[in-house]
Structure 1
C-alpha cells in the first residue's frame, strides 16, 4: 500500500538491508526524537514543539515495541502531520488514522522489496533478521499471502 513511498524513503537514507533503523529515518526527516517515561498505556506521541515535529517514545517499552512506535510515528508524520495536532498512540487504539500508521510502520520495518528475499525462512528467523515482533512479521506475511 505504501511501498513506493517507503522505497523512496529508504533510498533517500541509503537503507537497503534489514534491520531498518527507524530512528535514523526520523532524524533524517527532521523529527526530534526523545525517549521519555510515558504512562503505561501510551507508546508514543508526535507533536509540534517550537515549530519542530517531535516524537516522545515510551522508554519503558521493550526495544521491539519502541522500534515499531518510531515507525508508527513516522507514518503519522508523513501521512497525517500538521503543526497544530498531537498524536497520542495507545496500543489498542483502532481509529482509521491509527490503522494507517500501523500499516505504514509494519511496511516500513518489513518492506516488500526486502521481505521478498526472505520468504523461504521461518517466521521466527524473519522476525530476528528484521528485528520486529512475531506479530508484525505475521501481519506482513499475510500481506504476501504466506500465512
Structure 2
C-alpha cells in the first residue's frame, strides 16, 4: 500500500498480487475438475512457477486460492508441487498459506480503517475486498484473538452482531487495539525509489521538500543503479540546500536545475 501510495480504504489485494506475479514471472491459469475438490495448485519446474485455480469456484474463493498459492511461494515452502484441496487443510504448510492469504486479502490496517473509522457494514467490507462471508468472519476472529486471549465468547458474539448490523460491541474491541494496529503499520517505511516514482508523475520532477530522504546522498547510487531515466542532484545557496530528481525523458538537466533553484529561493 505504502509503496504504491494506495489509500487503505481503497486497498484491494490485486495490486500486490499482480506486482508479485510480474516481478517473479509467475504464470496463472485456471483448471476444472468435476468434483471441485482441487481448489488450487502450485507447480514449480524447469519452466518456472505456475499457479492454477478452479475456474468454477466463486470469485471470492478464487481470490483466496490465488493468494494461498502466492503464500507458498513467498513463504518459500519446500517443494515443487502444492495442492489446495478440501482434504488437506490441516497440513502445516497449507495452514500457513491460508493465514498468508487471509492477511493479504484483509490486512489489519484495512479492516481497522473500514470497520472502525469508516463504519462500513459487514457486507460492504466483504464486497469491496471480494472475500467470502466465511473468510471475513474468521479473519476478524483471528485478528481479535491476537489481542484478546481470554474473550473468545465475547469476540464471536461481537462479530455475529456486526454481521447482523450491530457494530457497537466490535467497535469497542477495535477501539482498544487501534493504536497497536496503527503503530505496526507505521513501522513500515516505503521504498525511496517507489516514493519517487509515485510523486514524480507527469511533471517529471520531485524535490526533497516532498521527500526529505533525498538529502541523504548515500541513497543516490542505489537509485541511479536501479533506474536509467531518473537523475538526481543537489543545489545549495546561503546555508540552504535542496535535492531533486528529474525524469531525463521529460526535462533537460538545465530545466531541472532551474526548477530546483526556484524552489530553493522560495524556501
Q: TM-score range by the shorter chain?
A: 0.7 to 0.9
2:204 corresponds in structure 1 to none
Q: For structure 2, list consecutive stretches of 5 or more residues without a partner in the other structure.
A: 145-154, 160-267
1:38·1:59 contact (CA, 8 Å) conserved in 2? Answer: no
Task: Point out 4+ residue stretches in structure 1 off by more than 6 angstroms.
Answer: none
More helix by share: 2
Distance of aligned partners of 1:55 and 1:38 in 2 relative to their CA distance in 1, 3 Å threshold? farther
CA distance in 1 between partners of 2:122 and 2:76 (Å): 31
Tell me the CA shift for residue 15 of structure 1. Answer: 6.9
Distance of aligned partners of 1:31 and 1:81 in 2 relative to their CA distance in 1, 3 Å threshold? farther
| Structure label with greater radius of gyration | 2
Query: Is residue 2:56 matched to residue 1:60?
Result: yes
Please report the RMSD computed on the Cα atoms of aligned residues, expressed in angstroms.
2.1
Tell me the CA shift for residue 124 of structure 1. Answer: 1.4
**C-alpha deviations, 1:58-83, integer Å up to 9, x for none?**
1111111111100000111111344x
Query: Which fold has the larger relative contact order, with Cα–Cα distance below 8 Å and residues 6 or more apart in sequence?
Result: 1
Q: How many residues in Structure 1 have an aligned counterpart in Structure 2?
A: 136
Tell me the CA shift for residue 23 of structure 1. Answer: 4.7
Query: Is residue 2:33 matched to residue 1:34?
Result: no
Matches within 5 A, 1:120-131: 120-131=119-130
TM-score by length of 2: 0.46
1:116 to 108, 112, 119: 112
1:44·1:57 contact (CA, 8 Å) conserved in 2? Answer: yes
